[in-house]
Amino acid sequence: MAEARIVGIDLGTTNSLVAFMQGEQPVVIPGEDGSNLVPSVVAMPDPKKVIVGYPAYPYLASTPDRVIYSAKRLMGRGVEDVQQELQLFPFHLAPDIQPGEVLRLQIGAQQYTPPEISAYVLRQLKKNAERYFGAPVTKAVVTVPAYFNDAQRQATKDAGRMAGLEVLRLVNEPTAAALAYGLDRQKEGVVAVYDLGGGTFDISILKLHEGIFEVIATNGDTHLGGDDIDHLLMAIALDDIRGDYNLDLRANAEAVQAIRKAVIEAKIALSTSETARISLDLPDGTPYRREITRAQFEQIIQPVLDRTVGPCKQALKDAGIKPEQIDEVVLVGGSTRIPLVRQLTDEIFQLTPRGKRPHTELNPDEVVALGAAVQAHILEGGSKATEDMLLLDVTPLSLGIEALGGVVAKIIQRNSTIPASATEHFTTGVDGQTNVAIHVVQGEREMAKDCRSLARFDLKGIPPMSAGLPRIEVKFLIDANGILHVSAREQRSGKEAEIEVKPTYGLTDEQVETMILDSFDYAEQDFAERQLIEARNEADTILAAVEKASSHPAWQQLSNDERTQIGMISEELRVLKEGDDLKALRDGTHALDEATRRFAELMMDSAVASAIQGQTMEAAGEKLGEGPTAPHPFAPAEIK
Amino acid sequence: MQTAEPQSVSAACWSCGASLPDGKPFCDECGKVQVPAENADYFAVFGLPRKLHIDLSVLEKNFYRLSRKLHPDVYAQSSPKEQQWSLDQTSLLNDAYRTLKNPIARTEYLLGLEGVVLEAGKSEDGKPKDSRVPPDLLEEVFELNMQLEEMRMNRKMGEDDPALRADLEKARTEFESQLAELDTSLQALWTHWDASLDGASEPEKTEIKDEIVALLDRRRYIRNLVRDVNEALES
């Protein structure tokens, strides 16, 4: 059996894609509907039914409180982070949710965490890939915004596990895009990737040298993207409607979704037209139409786009690079289709004065998935196409420990190449103290309370000694996925200190485990079931053909033994078809196919003979016909 | 989160048995990653002599070469132990590269290897310690702090005082040129130190170390001043 394939997945805020390396080119795997994109939308019209992607869209209009979209914006976050934006989402949080807890969304009587919702999207992508390859897919490279923190990365990895995918690597989206662009040309120099997607913004600056893609600085905002533009336009339309019709639709989830759909259409139109119309019918049937010019649109979204400037400048500064030293700029993410974004990036990186243009050759919706496929291929061991390619990425945020007075002692600076580590020593403050509490944070601010809390640990089992005597060495290691690992030992006794980690916004291993079982079983069962159904159909086909065979003149040409043999094997297959042993069923089908081989040949001969006798081939075919349209088990495709 | 087990140093490749020099991160014979050495010295990681002047282009070249051999991407399909070693080796490589390519971090690291406990960084309670004001700067620093305070007040009130701004910009230029001078002096001390490795007496070496420590303290102090001025001017 061939080595199992590793696929590349772009788990996006708005759309998700799965891709793989076909020969020397990464290609996106389409779904059953032929579309490359799977919208990251999950509808659960009833507890037993989960609908993902385009088919989930209609539910946004009919049962908006049972549809989740943009779940990526909720990954690894707490209730205190998302209050504002939840106002415009039609779904609701569980009523008992506490600050500092993993979010739970209330859908009917059920509750789901954001990783579970993402797992449904991943499972759909997994299915699409399995359908395409005709084989199970269990390993993947998944992309994340470069500016994702530890909790958000862990949540993404958890989602993979729940979907039955081993996430071999989390790759930063802008870096993935650089890989996709870097594949077909031998580029050297400094590249900036500006990635404005549905929900997140990243800027990464890379140095390309002999196939090494070395990220030198990254920055961004995990809460900035096309969604924010949509929300601004929605707020304007809602105000407008209230003004004109004295109608407040904010609480009407269906109407809000209709408005959302209308403003997104207008937004997209404005990338190519000078004017567009926000057009929808109000709940009472009154048509609402509003013209919007590109100039107005640009004025509205300017504040959103301006928020990308700061991160770009910071990244340049951290990289120690001036805008004019950037050799190439790559634009990624659907929102970079907006003309004002192109203008803004042109200004930031001073492209026009230098006679340069940004790279937009690859579809901005697909380029990240294509890059993920390249990275997946590298992890598989690579080939000529990816030979010498190596990605060296960085951690986007500084890692620190809360010290006395709530200040942060930074132990790993942002933009350090990962994997990166730091070793710190801790001691006790009281005689006989056996526990030391450590609070790990991520961020650039001076006070721990202003940074992202990652985890609190208790170093336990320290041998009782005088205060200040124990010397506990704690190693913090950020792996190639940007995820933190911690190990500790007490140096005087040489004893491994026990660590109990309480992730602040993460799920515990046990929690993930229970969520996996639910969906994983389901997914595996799904695949097995599908294969079984296919095998049964195959068996049915051949059995039906055998049934008919006895009335064919060629049947009489078989020996008694041959006929008995066929009858026996058919009976066996009929029994196997009722069971669920896939292998036995396939073997049985194969055996019957073998046993009837001579009959098929005889039948062929007689068909040819009939043709010679003046009967048309078609008529002969019709006589045999009525069977399934699939390649007939009795009739080999090539006619001798 | 996981707990790593302490590893021991091996002198033969675990995979093919070829003999290896201590601390060699991968086997020349079979190419496999090796058990990381305990307390590896950053200079040794790159096969560099323990000197302050280093050839940065050689450093970079070796960094890329070793990354290609050791990176976790290369071991994605290998056994869990090889993956762990690759992770440990690569994080050591990255930590070493980050430290050595930065002239100040490199100097501080080497002083640390030489047993110097730097005042920099954190004190026992983890709080960053303020360096003492260098005596010759007392007057200037006093005035600067007054101006910075005024600038912050102005900002709060939404006012702008162009004269004050100009003064601060002048101070920044002044301190920046002092920083540049210090960097030149530091390089001269590097040369002294590197030369002292060829048989200088311990007291001579200690004297150079003390000079470097004093210079680094002063540099840190001035750098913080520049940072404060920049913050006041930018925000």
Q: Evaluate if residue A253 carries a pLDDT over 50.
A: yes
Chain region(s) in chain A for CATH 1.20.1270.10 = 512-624
CATH topology assigned to domain A6-224+307-392 = Nucleotidyltransferase; domain 5 (3.30.420)
Q: Among residues A367, A391, A17, which one has the least CA distance to residue A218?
A: A391
Answer whether CATH 2.60.34.10 is correct for domain A399-506: yes
Chain region(s) in chain A for CATH 3.30.420.40 = 6-224+307-392
Position with higher pLDDT, B214 vs B29: B214
State how far the Cα of A27 lies from the Cα of A413, in Å rounded to an integer: 36
Residue A546: predicted pLDDT: 85
Do residues A36 and A199 touch, judged by C-beta distance below 8 A? no
Residue A62: how many other CB atoms lie within 10 Å: 12
Q: Evaluate if residue A168 carries a pLDDT over 60.
A: yes
Q: Among residues A468, A581, A499, A483, which one has the least CA distance to residue A160?
A: A483
Position with higher pLDDT, A256 vs B129: A256
Residue with tokens 């001076």: A446
Residue A34: how many other CB atoms lie within 10 Å: 6
Residue A186: predicted pLDDT: 63
Q: Evaluate if residue A117 carries a pLDDT over 90.
A: yes
pLDDT-above-90 percentage for chain A = 46
pLDDT in tens, A1-26: 345 789 999 999 999 999 999 988 99
Which H or E element spans position A543?
helix A509-549
Q: Among residues A206, A208, A209, which one has the least CA distance to residue A217?
A: A206
Q: Identify the weakest region by mean pLDDT among A327-341, A541-555, B200-214.
A: A541-555
- Burial B27-58, CB ≥16 within 10 A → b, else e: beeeebbbbbbeebebbebbebeeebebeeee
Residues of chain A found within 8 Å of residue B71, distances taken between Cβ atoms? 390, 392, 480
Q: Evaluate if residue A618 carries a pLDDT over 60.
A: no
pLDDT in tens, A295-308: 999 999 999 999 99
pLDDT band at A636 (very low <50, low <70, confident <90, very high): very low
CA distances from B81 to A25, B14, B32, B75 (A): 32, 11, 12, 10
pLDDT in tens, A427-442: 888 888 888 888 888 9
Token readout for B72 is 């976790």
Do residues A173 and A506 touch, judged by C-beta distance below 8 A? no
Residue A272: predicted pLDDT: 93
Tell me the average pLDDT across A174-182.
92
Residue B87: predicted pLDDT: 94
From the list A10, A221, A230, A538, the catalytic residue is A10
Q: Among residues A311, A533, A483, which one has the least CA distance to residue B87?
A: A483
- Burial A592-624, CB ≥16 within 10 A → b, else e: bbebbeebbebbbebbeebbeeeeeeeebeeeb
Domains of chain B, first to last: 9-101 (1.10.287.110), 135-234 (1.20.58)
Which H or E element spans position A155?
helix A150-162
Which one of A485, A489, A499, A509 would you mutate to disrupt binding with B, by most B Cβ within 10 Å of its Cβ?
A: A485
DSSP string, A493-518: TTEEPEEEEEESSS--HHHHHHHHHH
Residue B167: predicted pLDDT: 84
CA distances from A148 to A105, A173, A387 (A): 21, 10, 29
Which residues, other chains included, contact A418 with Cβ-Cβ below 8 Å and sequence gap of 6+? A393, A394, A395, A478, A479, A480, A482, B91, B94
Residue B235: predicted pLDDT: 60
Q: DSSP class of residue A111?
A: E
Q: Evaluate if residue B131 carries a pLDDT over 70.
A: no
| CB within 8 Å: A480 and B97 | no
Asked if A72 is an active-site residue, the reply is yes
B67 — contact with chain A (CB < 8 Å)?
yes
pLDDT in tens, A437-470: 888 889 888 888 888 888 888 888 788 888 888 8
Q: Among residues A205, A203, A226, which one has the least CA distance to residue A217?
A: A205
**Cα distance from B123 to chain A (closest Cα, Å)?**
11
State how far the Cα of A457 lies from the Cα of A402, in Å rounded to an integer: 12
Token readout for A234 is 């929605």
Helix pair A560-578, A509-549: axis angle to 10 deg: 150
Asked if A214 is an active-site residue, the reply is no
Which one of A7, A154, A313, A379 would you mutate to disrupt binding with B, by most B Cβ within 10 Å of its Cβ?
A: A379
Residue A501: predicted pLDDT: 63
From the list A81, A116, A130, A173, the catalytic residue is A173
B129 — contact with chain A (CB < 8 Å)?
no
Do residues A86 and A112 touch, judged by C-beta distance below 8 A? no
Chain region(s) in chain A for CATH 3.90.640.10 = 226-305
B117 — contact with chain A (CB < 8 Å)?
no
Residue A145: predicted pLDDT: 93
Residue with tokens 């080939």: A383
State how far the Cα of A330 lies from the Cα of A191, in Å rounded to an integer: 7
Do residues B46 and B61 touch, judged by C-beta distance below 8 A? no
ipTM of the complex: 0.83
Do residues A406 and A441 touch, judged by C-beta distance below 8 A? no
Which residues, other chains included, contact A308 with Cβ-Cβ below 8 Å and sequence gap of 6+? A194, A196, A201, A203, A221, A224, A344
pLDDT-above-70 percentage for chain B = 89
Tell me the average pLDDT across B77-99.
93
Which residues, other chains included, contact A14 with Cβ-Cβ below 8 Å and sequence gap of 6+? A39, A40, A69, A70, A197, A198, A199, A226, A227, A334
From the list A116, A130, A158, A195, the catalytic residue is A195
CATH code linked to domain A226-305: 3.90.640.10
State how far the Cα of B15 lies from the Cα of A567, in Å rounded to an integer: 57
Residue A321: predicted pLDDT: 94
**Cα distance from B36 to chain A (closest Cα, Å)?**
14
pLDDT band at B150 (very low <50, low <70, confident <90, very high): confident
State how far the Cα of B170 lies from the Cα of B207, in Å rounded to an integer: 35
CA angle in degrees (0–180, nearest 5) for A70-A71-A76: 130
pLDDT band at B2 (very low <50, low <70, confident <90, very high): very low
Q: Maximum distance among all alpha carbons in chain B?
A: 74
- Count of all residues that appear for chain A in the document: 640
Looking at mean pLDDT, say which of A402-411, A476-485, A546-555, B117-126 comes out highest: A476-485
B38 — contact with chain A (CB < 8 Å)?
no
Q: Evaluate if residue A631 carries a pLDDT over 50.
A: no
Residue A285 backbone phi and psi in degrees, to 5: 95, -10
Looking at mean pLDDT, say which of A369-378, A508-517, B46-55 comes out highest: A369-378
Token readout for B191 is 């040369």
Going through A105-235 in order, the beta strands assigned E by DSSP cover 105-107, 110-112, 139-144, 166-172, 189-196, 201-209, 212-221
State how far the Cα of A613 lies from the Cα of A621, in Å rounded to an integer: 15
Residue A626: predicted pLDDT: 35
Q: Which of A379, A380, A487 sits opposite B2 (nearest CB)?
A: A487
pLDDT in tens, B156-186: 888 778 888 888 888 888 888 989 999 999 9
pLDDT in tens, A480-490: 999 988 888 77
B205 — contact with chain A (CB < 8 Å)?
no
Q: Evaluate if residue B90 carries a pLDDT over 90.
A: yes
Tell me the average pLDDT across A485-498.
74
Residue B221: predicted pLDDT: 85
Residue A56: predicted pLDDT: 92
The one-letter code for the residue type at A10 is: D
Token readout for A356 is 């340069």
pLDDT, chain A, mean:
85
Residue with tokens 């190439």: A328
Q: 2.30.40.10, 1.20.1270.10, 1.20.140.10, 1.10.10.10: which CATH number matches A512-624?
A: 1.20.1270.10
Asked if A173 is an active-site residue, the reply is yes
User: What 3-state DSSP class applies to A372?
Assistant: helix
Tell me the average pLDDT across A90-111.
86
Residue A629: predicted pLDDT: 31
Residue B130 backbone phi and psi in degrees, to 5: -75, 130
Which one of B62, B73, B88 would you mutate to disrupt binding with A, by most A Cβ within 10 Å of its Cβ?
A: B73
Q: Which of B2, B73, B125 sits opposite A378 (nearest CB)?
A: B73
Going through A534-622 in order, the beta strands assigned E by DSSP cover none
